[in-house]
Amino acid sequence: MYDIIIIGAGAAGLTAGIYAGRGGMKTLIIEKTFAGGQAATTYEVDNYPGFDETVSGAELAMKFEKHAKKFGAKIISEDVKEIDVDAKVKKVITSKGSYESKTLILALGATPRELGLANEKKLRGMGVSYCATCDGAFYRDRVTAVVGGGDTAVEDALFLSRFCPKVYVIHRRDELRAAQVLQEAAFKNDKIEFIWDSVVEEIIGKDGVEAIRIKNVKDNSEKTLSVEGIFVAVGIVPHTDLVKGKIALSEQGYVETDDTMQTSKPGVFAAGDCREKILRQVITAASDGATAAYATERYINENGV
Ligand code: NAP
């Protein structure tokens, strides 16, 4: 019987592991792919406190993993198939076995929705980005494009306009779904140009993005824009299939928590990108993980589990 089982070894899960292990809790972290989560696939991170020299996402992720292990968290590589969140003792069934725990922390992560274009995966980190606040500073003095019409896309465009001489926003309709206040700020920003009713058909470039070919969906006309960066902001997909119907999720499928990371089920906590919140970065994932581990320990003590 574990005190805490953490599902997911991204920044949130590993930080929860650091805090739980350090607090003397018997801790198991289950990860289906590799430790580090989205951070591990981020080319460079230059906004994580303490790393004033840019650090690669992979290196930062390795440090998180090493740190969690140092305090005794056990990390195993298995695919979680089923969880029982209703009983007092929580059960986790994986591809290889089953585990019991007094509490659970769901650090399931999320993935940015892709456009599904041919060159998109190949040029990820080389001009294709899914996070302007993470990567925008690398595009200083370069022309960029943002795809999408939601809050993220418009916020990304505003953020990029601090560094870039020109930012195109390419949206598939002729009106934005972003909040009015963001729309107003973007419309009066000289560096931002909206391209309406348009979709990206092709990302052009060999070792980096050189241009994008876009198509107007109303008249089918096409044009090519020279850009060195394309920021895809067409929503993200939380990895919450495992808990659908078991705990409360927001309309967009994120786990609902209170500010102690407690979900709708007692003893089940959530942390990181799978959680409903406004900023999804390594620092906020780590913060969630720390809070969740602390709240979990308190839950065990207060409920005599
Ligand atoms: P979103 O609200 O789901 O918007 C996604 C945008 O991408 C929409 O404009 C959508 O077009 C477009 N889109 C979706 N699939 C596409 C595709 N395959 N090709 C081209 N365009 C596509 O996602 P989000 O902007 O990331 O926001 C997610 C949630 O976080 C929202 O609830 C948002 O309010 C919240 N958020 C809040 C803040 C804030 O409060 N400051 C900041 C960021 C995000 P359509 O409009 O035509 O559907």
Cα distance between residue 259 and residue 271, in whole Å? 10
Q: What are phi and psi of 59, to 5 degrees?
A: -65, -45
- Please check whether residues 194 and 118 belong to one and the same domain: yes
Which of the listed residues 181, 214, 234 should we mutate to test ligand 1's pocket, taking the one with most ligand atoms within 8 A of CB? 234
- Please check whether residues 220 and 121 belong to one and the same domain: yes
Q: What pLDDT is recorded for position 21?
A: 97
| Coil vs helix vs strand at 298 | helix
Decide: 238 in ligand 1 pocket, CB within 6 A: no
DSSP one-letter string for 211-260: EEEEEETTT--EEEEE-SEEEE-S-EEE--GGGTTTS-B-TTSPBP--TT
- Please check whether residues 212 and 132 belong to one and the same domain: yes
Distance 217 CA to ligand 1 centre (A): 19
How many other CB atoms are there within 10 angstroms of residue 297's CB atom?
Answer: 18
Give pLDDT tens digits for 100-135.
999 999 999 998 899 999 999 999 999 999 988 888
Q: What pLDDT is recorded for position 47?
A: 84
- Please check whether residues 99 and 182 belong to one and the same domain: no
Decide: 278 in ligand 1 pocket, CB within 6 A: yes
Q: What pLDDT is recorded for position 305?
A: 81
- Please check whether residues 137 and 278 belong to one and the same domain: no
Which of the listed residues 113, 130, 169, 177 should we mutate to test ligand 1's pocket, taking the one with most ligand atoms within 8 A of CB? 177
- Please check whether residues 224 and 152 belong to one and the same domain: yes
* Total domains present in the chain: 2
Nearest alpha carbon, ligand 1 atom 23: 235
- Please check whether residues 25 and 107 belong to one and the same domain: yes
Torsion sign over Cα 47, 51, 56, 61: negative
Give pLDDT tens digits for 72-87.
999 999 999 999 999 9
> Is 274 in the active site?
no
Residue ranges of the chain whose pLDDT lies below 50: none
Q: What pLDDT is recorded for position 204?
A: 98
Q: What pLDDT is recorded for position 133?
A: 83
Nearest alpha carbon, ligand 1 atom 34: 151
For the chain, the 3-state helix, strand and coil shares in percent, each to the nearest 5, are: 30, 30, 45
Residue pair 96/84 in contact by the 8 Å Cβ criterion: no
Cα distance between residue 49 and residue 37, in whole Å? 19
Distance 153 CA to ligand 1 centre (A): 7
Q: What pLDDT is recorded for position 39?
A: 83
- Please check whether residues 107 and 86 belong to one and the same domain: yes
Distance 169 CA to ligand 1 centre (A): 13
Residue type, 42: T
- Please check whether residues 47 and 135 belong to one and the same domain: no
- Please check whether residues 14 and 107 belong to one and the same domain: yes
Residue pair 170/214 in contact by the 8 Å Cβ criterion: yes
Last residue of a domain, one of 197, 215, 232: 232
Decide: 156 in ligand 1 pocket, CB within 6 A: no
Domain harbouring 67, CATH code: 3.50.50.60
> Is 164 in the active site?
no
Separation of CA 52 from chain center: 22
Residue 71 belongs to what domain range?
A: 2-111+236-303
Distance 189 CA to ligand 1 centre (A): 20
Torsion sign over Cα 171, 279, 142, 201: negative
- 100: DSSP letter: E
- 254: DSSP letter: P
Q: What pLDDT is recorded for position 272?
A: 98
Last residue of a domain, one of 217, 232, 247: 232
Distance separating the N- and C-terminal Cα atoms of the chain = 11
- Please check whether residues 62 and 126 belong to one and the same domain: no
Cα distance between residue 202 and residue 304, in whole Å? 58
Last residue of a domain, one of 203, 232, 261: 232
Decide: 235 in ligand 1 pocket, CB within 6 A: yes
HSE of 12 in the Cβ direction (CA atoms, 13 Å)?
25
Strand partners, 83: 92
Q: What are phi and psi of 149, to 5 degrees?
A: -135, 15
Torsion sign over Cα 116, 122, 127, 128: positive
- Please check whether residues 98 and 125 belong to one and the same domain: no
Residue type, 49: P
Distances (CA, A) of 7 to 79, 110, 272: 9, 13, 11
